[in-house]
Amino acid sequence: MSDDITKDWLGEPSDAMRPDPMRAVRDHGKPVLPKRFYRETGFREGEGGFRLTLDGRPANTPARNPLAVPSRVLAERLAAEWAAQGANIDPSAMPLTRLINTAVDGVAPRMGAVAEDLWPYAGTDLVAYRAASPERLVAAQAAAWDPVLDWAREALGARLILSEGVIHVEQPEATVAALRRAVSAIDDPFRLAALHTLTTLSGSLLIALAVLRGRLTADEAWDAAHVDETYQAAVWGADADAEARLAHRRREFEAAAQVAALAG
């Protein structure tokens, strides 16, 4: 039996492993989840960090790299996520695992390209675009975003120009350069993967950097990034589908905040 339990789980490429479109139709489009194949989860410390173990055997990422993280606490959270799975393994309920897989398989080999992918946010940050009315929303945005702007100016040397509505505003070259330097200075693939997720889910590089550097908690950052949605829900009422989508995105956001805090 292989020492790599993830290999046994994933199997080898074959016709049997290919998606069956007719099966998806029969199951009403629901994905077929793999059966849980392990009883106990844990981790083992080694040269590459703390590696997830399933029934005592080392686990790998989808690209067959060691599924290992740099800190014991993060390894405990990872093992707990696997332990929480029921009779089937549901990847949608494993945001921490998915982000760690991304960090190991996708980010580590291409740190520079991932950093560059975030650079455009330096010129289009959410917190720079303000509502002109109503007064309640204007006040809510100011309360949530002005402290982030103050922090960015003091900690990063980035001074943003504000705009009303969706009219694009060109940010100073020095500001864009400062934010790009902040991103490019990250030399850890787990923290860079976390920053990428935080940024894309919030629409704000400043909010994401504030989480990465400990200026904002995950809850504070999420609330700041969703001031507009909170206002709209208060005025028009909550939409069940929208709330479900936000709840899923929030789990992804919180997982990224965990990795940002614990990877270092």
Note whether 74 and 119 are same-domain residues.
Answer: no
Give the pLDDT confidence score for residue 29 in this predicted structure. Answer: 55
pLDDT tier, 1 (very low <50, low <70, confident <90, very high otherwise):
very low
Range(s) of the domain holding residue 22: 5-92
Q: Considering 42, 66, 92, which residue would you say is the last residue of a domain?
A: 92
Note whether 255 and 144 are same-domain residues.
Answer: yes
Note whether 87 and 117 are same-domain residues.
Answer: no
β-bridge mates for residue 57, sequence order: 54
pLDDT at 171 over 90: yes
- The answer for residues whose C-beta is within 8 angstroms of residue 109's C-beta and 6 or more apart is none
Q: Nearest-5° angle of CA 79, CA 248, CA 212?
A: 65
107-130 tens-digit pLDDT: 999 999 999 999 999 999 999 999
Helix 72-83 and helix 240-262, axial crossing angle in degrees, nearest 10: 140
Q: What is the mean pLDDT of residues 101-111?
A: 97
Comparing 16-20, 25-29, 102-106, 229-233, which segment has the lowest mean pLDDT?
Answer: 16-20
The CATH number of whichever domain residue 146 belongs to comes to 1.10.3580.10
Whether residue 97 is contained in a domain is answered as no
What are the φ and ψ backbone dihedral angles of 133, each rounded to 5 degrees?
-165, 165
Share of the chain above pLDDT 70, in %: 89
Q: Which of 13-17, 234-238, 253-257 has the highest mean pLDDT?
A: 253-257
Distance (Å) of CA 99 to CA 64, 137, 157, 235: 15, 33, 30, 35
27-73 tens-digit pLDDT: 455 678 999 999 999 999 998 899 999 999 999 999 999 999 999 99
pLDDT tier, 85 (very low <50, low <70, confident <90, very high otherwise):
very high
Whether residue 105 is contained in a domain is answered as no
Share of the chain above pLDDT 90, in %: 81
- How many angstroms from the chain centroid is the CA of residue 116? 17
pLDDT tier, 237 (very low <50, low <70, confident <90, very high otherwise):
confident
Give the pLDDT confidence score for residue 241 in this predicted structure. Answer: 87
Please check whether residue 51 is in contact with residue 68, taking contact to mean a CB–CB distance below 8 angstroms. yes
Distance CA 263, CA 217 (A): 16
pLDDT at 131 over 80: yes
Give the pLDDT confidence score for residue 167 in this predicted structure. Answer: 86
pLDDT tier, 238 (very low <50, low <70, confident <90, very high otherwise):
confident
Q: Nearest-5° angle of CA 100, CA 263, CA 41?
A: 55
Report how many domains make up the chain: 2
Whether residue 34 is contained in a domain is answered as yes
Give the pLDDT confidence score for residue 32 in this predicted structure. Answer: 84
Q: Considering 41, 60, 92, which residue would you say is the last residue of a domain?
A: 92
Whether residue 16 is contained in a domain is answered as yes
